[in-house]
Amino acid sequence: MHDVKTEAALDSAWSGGKSPFAMGSKKLGMWLFIVSDTLTFSALLITYSYSRLTNPDWPRPFPIFPAIAFSTTMTVVLLASSLTMVMAVMASQRNDRKKTVMWMVATMIGGLLFTGLHLTEWMNMIFKEHFTITGNPEGTPLFGAVFFGITGLHMTHVMIGVIYLGIVAIGYGRGKYSAEDVEVNGLYWHFVDLVWMFVFPLIYLMSVKY
Amino acid sequence: MNTQAHAEEAHAGASVGTNIAIWVGLVAITFLEVFLAYEELQPSVMLSILVVLSVVKAAMIMSFFMHLKYEKFALVLWLVPAMIFCICMMFIFFFPEAFRLLQMRPH
């Protein structure tokens, strides 16, 4: 026979045999991955901000038209794909497999469009404006390293996200994966969107050509 | 409240209308940031404003799109303070050098 305090401890969410955060291990694992990836991007963006403020000859290669208008379009496309992902997660929780797959495909199209626009911009910068990872005609060569490094790492995340969405959409459509898998996939996709919310203002809007 | 009820509450999330409102808010802040880019502010002032606006956007995405507002608060306490602490530590290591270089920079 236990006393009152022991009974209360055994009844708590932390006494074992229960999920203290009321969620599955996949979702918890994705949250931990997101925290670790946040620190990776934070380190890169803080290093960038430091370089940006301390270098007087920082290149400003982005005029409002067309470069900033172009990257704003990319931002809106990525944000729109986050909204379609929200719709996919909501549909999966209603057990509506057809609509879930439809919204996930829409999210993939958003991701592919973003990647396409981004690569177009990269090609323009590399081949027309002669910006490379080691040098550029306008100022400190550090610019190329941070610009291609940070946007490249983000674009890699987007491309992995599109592949991940494709795998989960097929699996969920066939009944192999559950609504939780779609939700975990959604967490990853929103994180990719969240990172861009820092990359776009810090990299692009801090280097506008007037 | 039992665990089952907690789980159901966690899955409730925001309505379609709320999510669309958040999305419109995110697009509006993005356009505000682009508008600020026209204003030719000092890089340090511009950087500070942009970081604050980005943190607001990140909080909106995490709370609503990533459902953190609807999860158990213990999860937020477990993940967020530790993450913010680590990010602050990065600032501590960078800033003495950054201030020194700012003083050395030609005017």
For B37, the closest of A46, A68, A198 (CB atoms) is A68
Contact yes or no for A21 and B37 at CB 8 A: no
- Test the A interface: residue of B9, B23, B41, B65 with most A CBs within 10 Å: B65
Residue A207 and residue A62 in contact, taking contact as beta carbons nearer than 8 Å: yes
Q: How many folded domains does chain B comprise?
A: 2
Domain regions of chain A by residue span = 24-209
Q: Which helix (H) or strand (E) holds A62?
A: strand A62-63
Contact yes or no for A21 and B71 at CB 8 A: yes
**B73, closest residue in chain A (CA to CA):** A21
Same-domain status, B77 and B54? no
pLDDT beyond 50 at B5: no
Same-domain status, B88 and B49? no
What's this model's pTM, rounded to 2 decimal places?
0.89
Taking only the tens place, the pLDDT of each residue in B10-22 is 456 789 999 999 9
Same-domain status, B87 and B64? no
Rounded to an integer, the average pLDDT of B80-97 is 82
CATH number of A24-209: 1.20.120.80
Taking only the tens place, the pLDDT of each residue in A38-70 is 999 999 999 898 888 888 889 999 998 899 999
Contact yes or no for B10 and A83 at CB 8 A: no
Contact yes or no for A197 and B54 at CB 8 A: yes
Domain that holds residue B14: 1-71
Cβ-based neighbours of A27, under 8 Å, separated by 6 or more: A180, A183, A184, A187
User: Which of chain B's residues have a Cβ under 8 Å away from the Cβ of A50?
Assistant: 94, 97-98
**A69, closest residue in chain B (CA to CA):** B34
Low-confidence ranges of chain A (pLDDT < 70): 1-2, 6-10, 14, 17
Give dist(CA B37, CA A68) in Å, integer. 9
